[in-house]
Structure 1
């Protein structure tokens, strides 16, 4: 089993990354602010524009450490990775199956069903744990609706039906998302999902962490040897990591949604950690980003028993396990892909 190492998040926009022997060094106005041995790093994610030295980028490429660059608001800019690794026969099989419409539709149904299941599990968890302190009426209605949807989506015969229905269920789920909040409901209320830009604090948190999750999934796929840009459900576009977006669908509710709800309910974050732009979009403060990233790192270290392989793993390794299961299915070592399902 892969060891979960540190993802380094550089949140100060003026930071510059450099190399010193076997150490990564973060400089701010030419002064050393932080250093870490490469042996402890698996990903580097920078929220800024200063960049990194060519020597550092070469060292990261040689050590299979990806460097991702995002704007301070979390918008993805680009990524530096090393040589393509993995079994070329696995990638060839992936490319062949991506052209098989029946195969793509069937595996997409499984991934969307897992997304529905885990979203419903998040609703049911709130109902079960807080039934005496919340009005669970809308949550229960939506949970039942999603339960019916899981079976119905297997009746669809084309992608237009599947994608349209997935959108309907997602809107229903997010329409009751705020009902899972026990505190700060006035500040973190959400009417509907908004992305570009997020129009409220809750949407801002979700978009931010979904971006981080997509980078984690992309790294997992590359580590296993799959091409993150050739997927089965999301439309192929230049620069779009379609397979990473496919795989993260089943992980959103468990890895991101639950964390966001917990942070708000425990008042680990507040409205002071956000600000609104003139156009209506919402951004995080530097302190807000640091709070969310710390909570994300802590969440990744929690241990669960994986529902399929029945081994204890850290939550941060879930994308790697799912990437392995997908690869085994493509190589026909498994009779079917086993999506991540949690109760």
Structure 2
């Protein structure tokens, strides 16, 4: 599977299949042909005309699609291939989810990583180093505020290490999240109207970008989880709920700070408030010009995920790759999923096979 993000955001777009190639017809333009094996995912806004054989071939090739509503009402829909046949790992997952001890250990691992990455992001924002992507965005004006926020995050991380229940871990994670978004509300320019995290619908451009970017990252998590054979609805920190894929939200947690960093870069370097539309019912959403910029930058970022997100020597069970530019969002998620499954208890069949052999 390739890495191109195909964006379909106009009702007059027509997409057909020509063998193993997508033919995309846009009004007033020559047809565009994209080999399916070069497509990483498809993002749809509204109701372009896509033939059924296109969806079938994308699913056969394991290419996921995200379908956003045209006017912002309702959540995204997901299309793609189904779960792998590695049922043993799902049995181990269900067994672990039923154990308060295992669930607490996994929740502790995930939130410890999230808090650690938030601390790293704060450190980068305060450095005056032009060689780093995030450095110098706000360095001069935020040092004191960042120090206070960093102290809260460190205390939360220490408390998570000592926590004996998922409820306690959730509480410390919530305290850290409140401190983080309060920090952002203090450092972002007034033109962005950011006063804290809100959603459904997001009431300002920054929250609109956060929600969209979390959704895009979640699509990557979903693909990795399905390939690994895990049950996306059975989580450890997020409780089961009708209509919620709890495991995906669990795995997303350590990725959120790096996504936040991506959003900070966008609003500092690429986007302005004029790239958004706003309404009471639909909230703040990127307009067509904004979407073109956003998906171009997201396509680049998912293939060049920041090395600071995952310190392999400290956080993971294998050394860092020789060239850290090889880190992609998908490889980062694979590493998190691998370490989570490493905490799961064994599940052995009567024939002696365990889930690790799947």
TM-score by length of 2: 0.82
Q: Hey, what does 1:262 align to over in structure 2?
A: 265
Q: Hey, what does 1:225 align to over in structure 2?
A: 229
1:41 deviates by 1.6
Q: Any unmatched runs of 5+ in structure 2?
A: 129-135, 347-358
1:31 deviates by 8.1
Judge conservation of contact 2:201–2:281 (CA < 8 Å) in 1: no
What is the distance in 1 between the residues matched to 2:303 and 2:125?
22
1:223 deviates by 1.9
Is 1:149 equivalent to 2:163 in the alignment?
no
Q: Hey, what does 2:32 align to over in structure 1?
A: 34
Q: How does 1:74-85 map to 2 (within 5 A)?
A: 76-85=75-84
Q: Any unmatched runs of 5+ in structure 1?
A: 333-343
RMSD between superposed Cα atoms in Å: 2.6
Q: CA 1:86–1:55 in 2, change beyond 3 Å: closer, same or farther?
A: same
What is the distance in 2 between the residues matched to 1:230 and 1:314?
27
Is 1:133 equivalent to 2:135 in the alignment?
no
Q: Hey, what does 2:209 align to over in structure 1?
A: 205
1:151 deviates by 0.8
What is the distance in 2 between the residues matched to 1:133 and 1:175?
18
Q: Hey, what does 2:108 align to over in structure 1?
A: 109
Q: CA 1:71–1:13 in 2, change beyond 3 Å: closer, same or farther?
A: farther
Is 1:283 equivalent to 2:285 in the alignment?
yes
1:297 deviates by 1.1
What is the distance in 2 between the residues matched to 1:206 and 1:132?
22
Instruction: Identify which of 59, 67, 70 aligns with 2:68.
Output: 70
1:30 deviates by 11
Q: How many residues get paired?
A: 325
TM-score by length of 1: 0.85
Q: How does 1:80-91 map to 2 (within 5 A)?
A: 80-91=79-90
1:289 deviates by 1.5
Cα distance per residue 1:87-133 (max 9 Å; x no partner): 22112111211111221111101111111111121112111234862
Q: CA 1:191–1:46 in 2, change beyond 3 Å: closer, same or farther?
A: same
1:17 deviates by 3.2
Cα distance per residue 1:18-72 (max 9 Å; x no partner): 2111112234469874321111123222122346322122212221222221124
Is 1:161 equivalent to 2:168 in the alignment?
yes
User: Secondary structure of 1:238's match?
Assistant: coil
Q: CA 1:329–1:161 in 2, change beyond 3 Å: closer, same or farther?
A: closer
What is the distance in 1 between the residues matched to 2:142 and 2:63?
46
Q: CA 1:288–1:30 in 2, change beyond 3 Å: closer, same or farther?
A: closer
Q: Hey, what does 1:315 align to over in structure 2?
A: 328
